[in-house]
Structure 1
Amino acid sequence: MNLEALINKHYEELNDNDLHVVSFISQNIDVCKDKTVTEVAKYCNVSSSTVIRTTKKLGFHGYSEFRYFLKEEAERMSKANLQSNSHYFNSSNLLKDVTETIKLFEEDKSLEEIYHRLLNAKRIFAYGTGYGQDLMLKEFSRCLWNHNIYLNIIPSKTELELLSHTINSDDLILVVSLSGNMKSIDSMIKNIAVKNVPMISVTVFSRNELAYIADYNLYYQVSNINKVNQLNDSSFCTLNLILSLLYEGFTNYKKTHVS
């Protein structure tokens, strides 16, 4: 199991400090694989005990075992990069995914309704089903601040469960997923839908349960999905793209609809 899969597996157990640590490490594996726990803690501006606790939450007995895992992860990534450089397959697939994602967005007939919802919702909530989805939502949230719109990102299933009892039809919720599989959040999403809360699903282009339940569907294209762990093997490029297109479209909509 790679680092991304581990983070997704234990995502509900990780607090903000843990996410800060794993975010830095995942982006700097080559640097961290040969560093002591004290050095990594200094990079992350946290205590050594925080780093150790984080690694234990990921299923390791201690930092030494985690560092050995990082070395294997760095080697695996290096081999993958060599494969990528020797074949045009990955880059051509990514270009195809980007082109298809733009096409799916431009052909969407419900965009004006979505923009209207974003502009007029009393409160806007967002839930990402994994670590990568959560990161993309944080960037989208940062962009919305330019319009003085606050996006309430729901950090875990526990908070989603609580929200499902208090959210109402004046609100709006975005649910971002790769597959649209609702197995772990099925009852919460259905509770929200029953209350006639406008819901926007953001999923890979496919027939899926989340898209079926949501009022509005935004799709992005991903070709390289690992068959074993159902994770994105390429990047979150097209998810970031669809949220960027949504933001730019909303910005233009607001210019013509708000005096």
Structure 2
Amino acid sequence: MNIQELMNKYYNNLNDNDKLICKYIINNKDTCYKLSIENFAAKCNVSSTTLFRFAQKISLTGFSELKVKLRLEAESKSNNKINLLEAVTDSYHKMIDHIKNKDCTSLFEKMYNAKRIIVYGSGYSQARVASEFKRIFLPTKKIIFNMHGNDMAEAIGALASEGDFVIIISLSGESKGVIELAEILRLNCIPTLSITRMMNNTLASLCEENLYINSILLPEQYTINYEISTPYFILIELLYLKYQKYIQTK
């Protein structure tokens, strides 16, 4: 068990001074292990003896073991953050290499020949990406519609017609709305591009063209529920640069 689990397990056996120590540890987990027993006790406004007995009350041999466990947990947390940074930057590099080396001729032909390009983002982050797509592709002089929200999927199915090209941006590619939209577009023979997280998904299987990103969810220790969306924007920029290179050949 980690320190927090031990404190919770034995909480009913702790007195008021012990609970002050618990509060201090919770608020200073990453630094308190560096303190001597005297300094640690002073920070908690208790005696060194109380601190030593507190460690025993939560099943540890004494203050030294308490410090070791706190140090190991802090170092593990730090290593996880470093590993996450490496994972995120690695995902960027992989996605960049994938787009750089991908043959986009078929995709660009559909975009070039389309009368209108409709970009649909299924969620909040995807809506931001759809807006960025419209902004960065404006110089192509294509008529680009930017639509988002689950309630708009049905409207796009009714709006899209022959000569259009529809881009569907979805994280999982498994939500009911995007699947139904892709099915309607396929039945109407309207070409589509899916942009989803790098994984096999139903939306990708329904679309003629597919692009993928590596998306990473921040661990709980970062205190916010957030999935990194930067790869979407990198993809859009690289796609625009490649498209410009393509139309120069026309």
TM over 0.5: yes
Task: State the AA in 1 paired with 2:120.
Answer: Y
1:192 aligns with one of 176, 185, 188: 185
Structure 2, unaligned runs of 5 or more: 1-76
Task: State the AA in 2 paired with 1:252.
Answer: K
Give the structure-2-normalised TM-score.
0.62
The equivalences for 1:57-72 within 5 A come to: none
2:242 aligns with one of 234, 249, 254: 249
- Work out whether 1:177 is the aligned partner of 2:170: yes
Over 3 Å counting, the alpha-carbon distance change for 1:160 and 1:184 in structure 2 is: closer
**1:155 Cα deviation after fit:** 3.1
- Work out whether 1:106 is the aligned partner of 2:100: yes
CA distance in 1, matches of 2:143, 2:108: 15
Over 3 Å counting, the alpha-carbon distance change for 1:89 and 1:120 in structure 2 is: same
CA distance in 1, matches of 2:171, 2:237: 17
- Work out whether 1:140 is the aligned partner of 2:133: yes
**1:108 Cα deviation after fit:** 2.7
Task: State the AA in 2 paired with 1:105.
Answer: I
The answer for the alignment partner of 2:203 in structure 1 is: 210
For the 8 Å contact 2:120–2:167, the answer to whether it is kept is yes
**1:226 Cα deviation after fit:** 6.6
The answer for the alignment partner of 1:8 in structure 2 is: none
Structure 1, unaligned runs of 5 or more: 1-82
CA distance in 1, matches of 2:219, 2:123: 15
CA distance in 1, matches of 2:218, 2:204: 19
Whose RCO is larger (CA < 8 A, sep 6+)?
A: 1
Q: 1:15-44 CA deviation, whole Å, 9 max, x = no partner?
A: xxxxxxxxxxxxxxxxxxxxxxxxxxxxxx
2:167 aligns to what SS in structure 1?
strand
Task: State the AA in 2 paired with 1:193.
Answer: R
**1:241 Cα deviation after fit:** 1.0
Over 3 Å counting, the alpha-carbon distance change for 1:232 and 1:212 in structure 2 is: farther
CA distance in 1, matches of 2:248, 2:78: 42
The answer for the alignment partner of 1:94 in structure 2 is: 88
For the 8 Å contact 1:141–1:150, the answer to whether it is kept is no
Task: State the AA in 2 paired with 1:223.
Answer: I
CA distance in 2, matches of 1:143, 1:250: 11
Q: 1:83-126 CA deviation, whole Å, 9 max, x = no partner?
A: 679831222111111111112223433x0111111111011101
CA distance in 1, matches of 2:89, 2:185: 36
Larger C-alpha radius of gyration, 1 or 2?
A: 2
Instruction: Give the ranges of 4+ consecutive aligned residues of structure 1 lying more than 4 Å apart after TM superposition.
Output: 83-86
Over 3 Å counting, the alpha-carbon distance change for 1:226 and 1:131 in structure 2 is: farther
Moved more, 155-164 or 170-179: 155-164
Aligned length: 171
Q: 1:115-138 CA deviation, whole Å, 9 max, x = no partner?
A: 111111011101111111111111
| Overall identity of the aligned pairs, in % | 22
**1:157 Cα deviation after fit:** 3.5
Over 3 Å counting, the alpha-carbon distance change for 1:208 and 1:112 in structure 2 is: same
The answer for the alignment partner of 1:116 in structure 2 is: 109
Task: State the AA in 2 paired with 1:131.
Answer: Y
CA distance in 1, matches of 2:225, 2:109: 31
The answer for the alignment partner of 1:129 in structure 2 is: 122
**1:251 Cα deviation after fit:** 1.1
For the 8 Å contact 1:173–1:199, the answer to whether it is kept is yes
- Work out whether 1:219 is the aligned partner of 2:207: no
Over 3 Å counting, the alpha-carbon distance change for 1:203 and 1:112 in structure 2 is: same
For the 8 Å contact 1:211–1:217, the answer to whether it is kept is yes
The equivalences for 1:30-41 within 5 A come to: none
CA distance in 1, matches of 2:179, 2:160: 16
